[in-house]
Amino acid sequence: MTRTVIITGASSGIGREAAIALAARGAEIAVVGRNAERTRAVADQVGGTSFVADFDRLDDVRTLAADLLERYPCIDALANNAGGLVSERSLSADGHERILQSNHLAPFLLTRLLLPRLLESGGRVVSTASVANLFGHVRLDDLDWAKRPWLGGWRQYGTSKIETILFVRELAKRTGLEAFSFHPGIVRTGFGQSSPMWRLANVVSNGSFGISASAGALPLVQLAGPTTVGVPSGTYFDQLKPDGLRIPQAKDDHLAEALWDRTSEIVGLPSAV
């Protein structure tokens, strides 16, 4: 039976490379992206279906979930890969800080809305996190990072990756679903183009800073594929190595539970699943 894999952030970077690799292994790919032209191009390349959604709008996420549920009677894997860094603090259409929304609120909402189908299918959730979790700090009273210096968004980006790791841990705990997060490595993609620090690193390295997108996609391909992972659900990987480096907050079960409850409230869902 053909394996159905949904990949967000699949119009470029490691999402695109994962879509190509998984399609080559026989999977049917739902290619989700914000740019309609690039998303359609990747879908055409991999023989999949394109879905356009802007994660700065939670109504787009709700529409996306409804479209995916209508299209796919079985979902074998959901890869939450969309997100990014915003160098100047700004708010989404829903009034939330944009890094928080695109990296945490939107994938949380999408996963929750697809959860019944994932459970029926015995599916798996894979979320792109980052070693940047090491310089983040979650404050439940300041998820929108309105009370702290912005500093180019890097600390909020790292915080969003703590939130990704915690979400995956709590998802595994509450549902019994297979769920994993991973750091893809420092990858040469369009990520962080608005960041002066990131641009400087590329200039200094003559464009060779980081690994290729195809190399960064390997953990996503492996974890979203049919192979048994062989480690406890909820595990965070550093590339293909389980139990990657995490800040103590990313291991805090009480924080994971509280973040789940607060996020559910923000996106208008009950905490219970």
| Active-site hit among 108, 145, 157, 198 | 157
DSSP per-residue string spanning 217-272? THHHHHHHSSS---S-TT-EEETTEES----GGGG-HHHHHHHHHHHHHHHT--S-
**Inter-CA distances, 92 with 10, 89, 98, 262, Å:** 21, 10, 5, 18
- Tell me, yes or no, if 157 is annotated catalytic: yes
Is residue 158 within a helix (H) or strand (E), and if so which, with residue range?
helix 154-175
Per the listing, tokens 């026989």 go with: 26
Strands 4-8 vs 77-80: parallel, antiparallel or unpaired: parallel
Start-to-end Cα distance in the chain: 28
Q: How far apart are CA 173 and CA 192, in angstroms?
A: 32
Give the catalytic positions in this structure. 157
